[in-house]
Structure 1
Amino acid sequence: MERISAFFSSMWDTILAKHQEGIYNTICLGVLLGLPVLVIITLIFICCHCCCSRPGKSGQQPEQNKKKKKKKKDEEDLWISAQPKLLQMEKRPSLPV
């Protein structure tokens, strides 16, 4: 326990010594000590996001969704007509002028 206490005591003494040397050293120490904390917070956020955003696994629901998607893909017409504006104009009812 004394080793841990001595380590943090020496770290604190180093921080105070660098702070007294100038503001540049204080900023550098803040960045260097803040980076590991930022990395840990980012990793926790990513892990929680991945775990919470997973879809629930149930036996029947995914199979039904897959079948619906396959039917939808088969029915979709992916061809683009050569004259889309003309086809749209034909479908509109004419207005009296």
Structure 2
Amino acid sequence: MRNVFVVCVMVLSLFLVVSPGYSKPLQGGDAAAVVAVVNINQATVTELQRLPDIGQVTAERIVAYRTEKGPFRSSSDLVKVKGIGQKKLEKLKDYIVVE
């Protein structure tokens, strides 16, 4: 019984180590789906694609914009990226940070 307890503690500890510091369930979708808060100034294309309504092309545009123009100063700067309007920004605002 003690071995089972030790294994459970180890597995839970592993999840704590590899999981992001903050995550939030997606709204209106599968309750089990979780998206970590993403720093749009450092995220990779793959990380950006985990955001609601962000596909590969838009994620690539975000990275290209950041590379060409420099870091985003605020999350509202995302509307400068083709394919991101005010509606999409509203969906993203709880899942993105600018650091």
TM-score range, shorter chain: under 0.3
TM-score under structure 1 length normalisation: 0.28
Report 1 or 2 for greater relative contact order, CA contacts < 8 Å, sequence distance ≥ 6: 2
Higher CA-based Rg: 1
